[in-house]
Amino acid sequence: MRTLSKANAEVVGAHLVMAGRLMDENADLAYEHAQAAVRRAGRVDVVREAAALTAYASGRYAEALRELRTVRRLSGVDEHRAIEADCERGLGRPDRALAILAAAPAPVTLEDRAELALVEAGARTDLGELEAALSVLEQVPTTKLDPDVAQRLDEAKHDVLVALGRAEPREVAEADTGTDEEDQPDADVVGFDDVLEEDG
């Protein structure tokens, strides 16, 4: 961002903040913010990273793959192999996903290892290799994992065990029709049009 003018950096920064805030709740709007940032600062690695992550979150897997490779070229950092491989899965190419994972650098953290394992297990499940998928998941210890990641790992194991006929499917809880405080819109959230006004 230091290569940008101060005014441009402020607008790009606002778009990046909104892309990050909206990615989990409105991936398409997050993607629009990331694209607005790309139009202003397409040679900045963090901007292209936002474009990649929002494309992935919104199901634009081919575009996300292109952006992830651009990020690696611009930054020299290779830290999104799990997402890259999952994009290949999303495009119906689990064999390519496994090839990407095989070429991935050694995971830095236990969470990174878990993310790689989740994608590999998914790819192997796609290929019908259920025993291999279970083995991959069982090799990741869950005791020191972030609770959310550990839960995802346990759920993935359970799904494979169900597919193998060794566990019963979980009961599907009824959807909660009530409205709580967390469901209310955030009055402080800035919309895409608001940031565009600053784009001028």
pLDDT digits (tens, 9 = 90+) for 111-168: 999 999 999 999 999 999 999 999 999 999 999 999 999 999 999 999 999 999 999 9
93 shares a domain with 36 = no
125 shares a domain with 56 = no
Query: Considering the domain boundaries, does residue 145 fall inside one?
Result: yes
Which residue type does 14 have?
A: A
Sign of CA dihedral 30, 36, 37, 38: positive
Rounded Cα gap, residues 71 and 75, in angstroms: 6
Range of the domain at 66: 1-77
Residue ranges in 141-180 assigned as alpha helix (H): 147-163
Mean pLDDT over 77-84 rounds to: 95
pTM: 0.83
65 shares a domain with 3 = yes
pLDDT at residue 171 in the model: 73
Rounded Cα gap, residues 169 and 3, in angstroms: 53
Give 60's pLDDT tier (boundaries 50, 70, 90): very high
pLDDT at residue 129 in the model: 98
Count Cβ neighbours within 10 Å for each residue of 115-148 and write b for 16 or more, e otherwise: bbbbbbbbbbbbeebbebbbebbeebebeebeee
Q: How many domains does the chain have?
A: 2
Query: Considering the domain boundaries, does residue 139 fall inside one?
Result: yes
Mean pLDDT over 37-60 rounds to: 97
14 shares a domain with 89 = no
Q: What is the mean pLDDT of the chain?
A: 90
pLDDT at residue 187 in the model: 43
